[in-house]
Amino acid sequence: MISILQNEKDVNKYNNNPCRKRLKLKDSCPICNRKMHSHGGYFRYVWAGKGPYFKIIIYRHYCPECGLTISHLPAFLLPYHVIAVPVINEIVRQYKSNGISIRSIAKLFDIARSTVQHCVRKHMDSTVDGLQCST
């Protein structure tokens, strides 16, 4: 299960201080409401626009009662996406509002055309006002 850290909208801020205490991770089980245990974490890569990829840690909690594991994903990330939400929003906005071609957007962001196509196809409808992170 994934829990979204709504206050974590900035990649740099998250990456500079990704400590558990500051993130205030919710540690009660959403199923049985008992206190969950820290369950380590894993690393993920994020791309926040031009520049290098960031390697960030994603913390996890485990419920010993029902066996549920929760990953605490910052709000700038979507599950299974390397590109940060603000960048996806910008790609879709360029395509929808400005009518720029997929090829030109790929050049603008210096990414593969297939990546742009994926973003546009998958997030075209959900980004009328942008995905959640951008507000």
Q: Can you give the binding site for Zn ion, defined by CB under 5 A?
A: 29, 31-32, 63, 65-66
Give the dihedral sign, CA 5/42/10/91: negative
Question: Which CB sits closer to Zn ion, 26 or 65?
Answer: 65
Minimum CB separation of residue 71 from Zn ion in Å reads: 15
CB of residue 66 to Zn ion, shortest distance in Å:
4
The residue (of 65 and 103) whose beta carbon lies closer to Zn ion is 65
Q: Which is nearer to Zn ion, 2 or 32 (CB)?
A: 32
Dist. CA 108–CA 130, nearest whole Å: 20
Q: Which is nearer to Zn ion, 31 or 124 (CB)?
A: 31
Which residues touch 57 (CB under 8 Å, ≥6 apart)? 18, 41, 42, 43, 44
Task: Pick between residue 36 and residue 111 the one whose CB is nearest to Zn ion.
Answer: 36
Do 93 and 127 meet the contact criterion of CB atoms below 8 Å apart? Answer: yes
Coil, helix or strand at residue 13: helix
Give min distance, CB of 60 to Zn ion, in A. Answer: 14
In whole angstroms, the minimum distance from the beta carbon of 62 to Zn ion comes to: 9
C-alpha closest to that of 39 among 47, 49, 29, 50:
29
Cβ 3 to Zn ion shortest distance, Å: 13
Q: For tokens 């500079």, name the residue.
A: 16
